[in-house]
Copies of this chain bind each other. A is one copy, B any other.
Amino acid sequence: MLNFEFCSPTKFVFGRDTQKRVGALVKEFGGSRVLVVYGGGSVVRSGLLAAVLASLDAEGLYHMELGGVKPNPRSDLVYEGIDICKKNGIDFVLPVGGGSAIDTAKAIADGALYDGDFWDFYSRKAVVTKALPHGCVLTIPAAGSEGSNSSVITKIEGNLKRGLGTEFHRPRFAVMNPELTFTLPRYQLACGITDMMAHIMERYFTNTPDVALTDRLAEALLCSIIEAAPTAMANDHDYESHATLMWAGMLAHNNSVGVDREQDWASHQMGHEISAKYDTAHGASLAVMFPAWMKYVYKHDVKRFVRFATIVWGVDPAGKTDEEIALAGIHAMQSFFVSLGMPATLEQAGGCRADIPELTAKVVNGKTGKFVELLPPQIEEVYALACEA
């Protein structure tokens, strides 16, 4: 177990009708001039945006709007938001949506109090020392950005997708009403399920010894997600399964299950390059990269993969070698992703085998991963495994 700090200070307001409290929550956390950040039409069509604005109005809060956030959120909208904040004395940023809206809002909040280019933070040229406060209304259980310290933005110039973790990225509050996720397109929900499982698995596969407690917490989350997912996918009005996914998605990424250990994150980094090049949904890129990565690394600690297979996937170990158990677990995971409608191969995710050298060259610093450190030749091999189902 490693020494650690853990601080997840967000006030989570979870359950039915909680979006009606957003105005009061913004006020509680000191906001008076609010920039509402959101994506496409669904937040408008569903009436959620109108309800949020009405809640702000009811508290007498000034507000402006910035719509148009897209999946794999991009720097151009961040610059636009920063400009609005600076010109209008905005003191609180309120994303309404999923991880893309929240990550955009976090980047806007970073840049609004900075004289330079916000990309300095994401390119590690500068460190965030102050930021506007932000709180969110979550509509997609997936990225965990509602409770995490991270934000991922793609810079249009060079198609660079980069993440930034800072404690300034923890939302002051997160309004989480599972009913708001009922009408998500099934593909988007499937991507979200994959993403939250990936957040847990990036932490689960570690070389840090003596982490049984957080291992068990991680397995508890994974089992709950796997149990809830088919019900939520099949029934778009089942409150309990959607609620389980929504809360699990937050816990998957606020670092509850990763505090005490070295974490991997190779699959995320390799997946990011796929999303950046082909605009593949984040979850879909992970559904392809995680099985490939596991097939490449499982021999590094086959006992951990045996544990994963038996506890999380219910693989019956009887009559099997450790290697067979491990591979059965990886296969069960990939079959689960496919059952949700996720792609199984790089090609199905919109990619192309011929691009592997280019994808590999873009992986930051030419290496990735802590469970097993991957250099460019190994990264190429993992991408190659992602071409096979």
Contacts and interface: CB of A to CB of B under 8 A. Distances in A.
Interface of A: 1-18, 210, 212-213, 216-217, 219-221, 223-224, 227-228, 239-240, 243-244, 247-248, 256, 259-260
Given A217-B220, A248-B213, A15 B9 contact: no
A213 B15 contact: no
A16 B4 CA distance: 10
Nearest to A15: B3
A7 B16 contact: no
Contacts of A15: 1-4
Nearest to A11: B7
Contacts of A244: 1, 212-213
B14 A3 contact: yes
30 contacts: A1-B15, A1-B240, A1-B244, A3-B15, A3-B16, A3-B18, A4-B14, A5-B11, A5-B13, A6-B11, A6-B12, A7-B11, A8-B9, A9-B9, A9-B11, A14-B259, A212-B244, A213-B224, A213-B228, A213-B247, A213-B248, A216-B220, A216-B224, A217-B217, A217-B220, A217-B221, A219-B220, A220-B220, A247-B260, A256-B256
B7 A10 contact: yes
Nearest to A223: B216
A10 B260 CA distance: 17
Given A14-B260, A212-B228, A213-B220, 8 more contacts: A3-B17, A4-B14, A7-B9, A14-B259, A212-B224, A212-B244, A213-B228, A217-B221
Nearest to A238: B210
Contact of A212 (B3, B12, B13, B227): B227
Contacts of A7: 9-12
Nearest to A170: B9
Contacts of A221: 213, 216-217
A380 B229 CA distance: 46
A210 B4 contact: no
A210 B1 contact: no
A33 to B, nearest CB: 24
Nearest to A5: B13
Nearest to A219: B220
Nearest to A1: B243
A265 B222 CA distance: 29
Contacts of A1: 15, 239-240, 243-244
A240 B10 CA distance: 29
A11 B239 CA distance: 33
Contacts of A17: 3
Nearest to A173: B7
Contacts of A18: 3
Contacts of A13: 5
Contacts of A239: 1
A313 to B, nearest CB: 15
A223 B311 CA distance: 14
A165 to B, nearest CB: 16
B5 A12 contact: yes
A173 to B, nearest CB: 8
A331 to B, nearest CB: 24
B2 A6 contact: no
A213 B251 CA distance: 11
Q: Which 4 residue pairs spanning A and B have beta carbons closest together?
A: A3-B15, A216-B220, A9-B9, A210-B240
Nearest to A16: B3
Contacts of A2: 15
